Chain A
Amino acid sequence: MASLVGSRVERKEDKRFLTGKGRYTSDINIANQTYAIFIRSPHARAKIKKIDTSKALKSSGVVEILTGEHIAQDKIGGLIAGWAIRSEDGSEMKCPANPPLAKDSVNFVGDPVAVVFAETLDEARAAADLVKVDYKVLKAVSNLGEAMNSEAIHDGIDKNLCYDWLLGDRQKVKEAFEKADRIIKLDITNNRLIPNAMEPRACVIDYNTASEEITCYTTSQNPHLSRLIMSAFGGVAPENKLRVVAPDVGGGFGSKINLYNEEIVCSWASKKIERPIKWVAERTESFLTDTHGRDHITHAELAVTNDGKFLGFKNETIANLGAYARVFGTVTPTYLFGPCATGVYIMPAAYSNVKAVYTNTAPVDAYRGAGRPEATYTIERIVDKAAMELGMDPIEIRMKNFPTEFPFKQTLVHQIDSGDYVAGLNKAKEMADYDGFAARKKESESKGKLRGIGVTSYFEACGIAPSPVVMMLGCGVGLWESAEVRFNPTGQVTVYTGSHSHGQSHQTTFAQIAADELGVPIENIDVVHGDTDKGTFGMGTYGSRSLTVGGIAIVNACKKIVNKGKRIAAKMLEASPDEVDFKNGEFVVAKSNKKKTIGEVAFASYLPGVRDEVKSPLPEGDEPGLIESSFFDPANFSFPAGSHICEVEIDPETGHVKLDKYTAVDDFGTIVNPLIVEGQVHGGLAQGIGQALYENAQYDDSGQLITASYMDYTMPRADDLPDFNLGFTCTKATTNPLGVKGCGEAGTIAATPTVMNAVINALGGKEISLPATAEKVWKACKEMKKSNAKAA
């Protein structure tokens, strides 16, 4: 049987999704369900003086209206930050309480204060209009740059500062900077983004009054984690009385990692009102209340020698947490950001200092790439600036500072097991026809257009993560993953994974792996995920961890199956287990033609005896059945890397940026399914390009989100994008048996600096801020024209 790992197996999911047979949370209806509408704060910052529900309660069809008072009475807990980060001075981070329904104060537009349950959605809406909330409006803190000098929005959190964190050695950096020929300085903002999953958040809750079990169907990237938080911190129900199901989920990009207010409130309320509840977010609610991403202000400095060697790097960043600290909110701008800020380079000294602050805006948390896009943007922009100031070619300066020996101890944290950055950049250079750029630029100029080329080399740390390491860094849980592989007596296989697929195609990729390990046709393998009642436990999907952690748990469980199978086959074939080899789905006794298929062995394992033609005595000490599980905790992060090159053409008359060519060369280690990996890269690139050219979440001074619909929030569209030119290099990860590194976030990480480097290159080095919108680019073109005229 040919190996399936490495082949372009078509997605098992496609038929379901393309024919409308997907089953999403909002497709689920439960008899006698009520409909929930949340009443949300229209103010960014206010005290709640009074909530009057009397009129609304009398409105037609209303079942119940609950507020923060009820939450407090029932001692329902709030939302939490999953990572405890310490400040440079050793003090603990400061986090405000975040009750699921605000009781005393609201802290961003969209913060929920009450909820109406009614017989129909229209009745719930009509009643919600009648709930009167009296607010004392306070001055909002909506500007990140000014947050530390503004009034504290949470009691006891001075300067709105959650922590002031340091990674690295200030003294060493100081010494390195003293030796430098030149210091390159860069001030950048990393624009705020709204994840915009295609499926808005939703939950459907079914409380069984007899068994006292709550079933919560929800749009989650990690149902087990949601159950844990809802139970341990929310106090909604003990874990064994709480089933969380995340069925088909239409995209998450990090925004569905968090357990949200609505899931806690509806789960608790369903028990209270003894009725099922359905809540589906409207798109406006998604804009306002899904966790947002990025939003940093950074000052960076790079110390270099005149011939382009890097000596040291410093990174001073203010990161926006929004109104509250959520699950990955505090780690995204620290351990997911700081270590990667030195990029793919040998950097003798470095530090990252991050001040995370609260503002009256939606909570900010992990968004595809989480910290690593912000880090890569910082280093790749400053490296380009260094090349420009030194008059060096951007490829040459990168090559000069790449490590060439692996394992490579990266400056701040990571021990990178494998890679070949030189090969990646060389391949990208060739595929992008880098040397032909000058001619293309001339041609553009002859049409009155500007052309720029941009290069980025990146590495990222994903496949999160070794539990002992992350727990030492402040993580509240271990980040292993579980799998269970079950043979039916008739030979089909069910693989249960604790990873969750919301666009990642696990049904296909994981079946490919299991098919190779077990020698069973892929058609006979079903991958099951997303239900706390079906699998033991799972940590979910984010940080490109599904294959590198969840996939390896599957491999290991399969290996246990094969081991047990060997013992059973040996017994059946009257040989010793050491003599039995397993290959292509068959157990073969060495130097003989005696063999049993894995299907026969599975069958035998369920019929442990001898009767008529059935002769399958179980080996001594073995139990019946063929089911094995594995919990895999990786020994290290994994480190995908690559180089991207793009070209833009700018119309100086209008400022319009046309993305003309995009080449991505990535090293993801072993590629299980190139079709799926290319899809992941395409999607990631689109989002990274979105950040560079289009997307920008903006709040006004009073804390109103002014980009709260698609009329104003620009998503990248297919016709904005060129055909992507993708290439791969491969150095296998040495820390897992498949050699895989993860591919989910790479595109997003590399694309933003690649595009901006190209735009700024076209503008002759003139800095502009993210995103490069037409008006900004047009202004820069005008200034460039002026200064060119002066020079001439």
Chain B
Amino acid sequence: MKTFNYHSAKDVKEASKLASSNSAFLAGGMTTIPSMKLGLASYKDIIDIKRIKKLSGIKVSGKKVTIGATTKHSEVASSKDVKKAIPSLAALAEGIGDPQVRNRGTIGGSIANNDPAADYPSACIALNATIHTNNRSIVAEKFFTGMFETCLKSNEVIEAIEFSIPEKSSYQKLPNPASRYAIIGVYVAKHKTGINVGVTGAKSCVYNDKDLAGALTKNFSSSAIDNVKISSSGMNSDIHASSDYRANMVKAFAKKAVDAC
């Protein structure tokens, strides 16, 4: 690991001020630290944001669940409020990595990193999330822009993620047997305003599968999905799953999700 300057920011303003194109915020460190150790990334400044109280915590109001950026996966997984309002979201958090990762990794870090195989991005898409930063609010569909890419500026700090409580929802994941990230993960959510099918793991970036959503809008049942064609073009292919298998699994897991709703 190359040497770096460590800062512990007392508030969001300071964190943002310290940031540059050669810095990283330190939330759970579950992505940043391993990549630094393996020599895949190096930074001049590491800005710890864990001491900023305001960034952590879970709030549930009538229609919304708002989760602070540095809230840990384990906190979301075990939150009674989340379990009651959006059980599928608590279940998603429970399925991330392993206990060590869940006890450190944060929701803000996860979506800022936008790993194509991460779980939370699909929740943001399916649950019409709004991502609140220190200077704007961004809807999920605009937030995730590409592989490991978001529309965040380098000095922009995610403060909280606001999810809409759906009528029904379920997240179903085919874990990579080695890493347990998603080979594919499908998040189906039925809102009064419409249906979303957030798909992660399949392509270079999370997306809302409009064909599946369309079929489910007509008939919210797993059989409605049977005739939807899912093309494998643009799908990831690696030693664990070919693009053809992934395309088929998007369908299979979408069906599982609908059945579990």
Binding site for B on A (CB under 8 A): 122, 653-654, 656, 694, 698, 706-707, 710-715, 773-775, 778-779
Contact = CB atoms under 8 A, between A and B. Distances in A.
Contacts of A779: 245
B179 A710 contact: yes
Contact of A654 (B1, B239, B252): B252
Given A653-B256, A654-B174, A775-B242, 17 more contacts: A122-B1, A653-B252, A653-B255, A654-B252, A654-B253, A694-B177, A694-B178, A707-B239, A711-B179, A712-B178, A712-B239, A713-B178, A714-B177, A774-B174, A774-B241, A774-B245, A779-B245
A778 B249 CA distance: 10
B248 interface: yes
Contacts of B241: 774-775
A776 to B, nearest CB: 10
Given A778-B245, A778-B248, A710 B240 contact: no
Nearest to B179: A711
9 contacts: A654-B252, A656-B174, A710-B178, A711-B178, A712-B178, A712-B239, A712-B240, A778-B245, A778-B248
B242 A712 contact: no
A126 to B, nearest CB: 9
A714 B249 CA distance: 20
B228 to A, nearest CB: 15
A27 B248 CA distance: 49
A547 B177 CA distance: 36
B242 A774 contact: no
Contact size range, B = 10 to 19
Contacts of B255: 653
Among all A-B residue pairs, the 8 with the closest Cβ atoms: A714-B178, A714-B177, A711-B179, A775-B245, A653-B252, A712-B178, A654-B252, A775-B241
Nearest to A707: B239
Interface of B: 1, 174, 176-179, 239-242, 245, 248-249, 252-253, 255-256
A779 B252 CA distance: 14
A255 to B, nearest CB: 19
A356 to B, nearest CB: 26
Contacts of B242: 775
Contacts of A778: 245, 248
Contacts of A713: 178
Contacts of A653: 252, 255-256
B93 to A, nearest CB: 17
B177 A774 contact: yes
Nearest to B248: A778
Most buried by B among A653, A706, A715: A653
Given A694-B177, A714-B177, A774-B174, A706 B248 contact: no
A773 B249 CA distance: 14
B2 to A, nearest CB: 9
B240 A773 contact: yes
B177 A654 contact: no
A698 B177 contact: no
A116 B3 CA distance: 20
Contacts of A694: 177-178
A710 B249 CA distance: 23
Contacts of B248: 778
Nearest to B38: A284
Most buried by B among A654, A698, A778: A654
A60 to B, nearest CB: 12
B252 A712 contact: no
Most buried by B among A694, A711, A778: A711
Contacts of A773: 177, 240
A778 B239 CA distance: 15
A775 B241 CA distance: 6
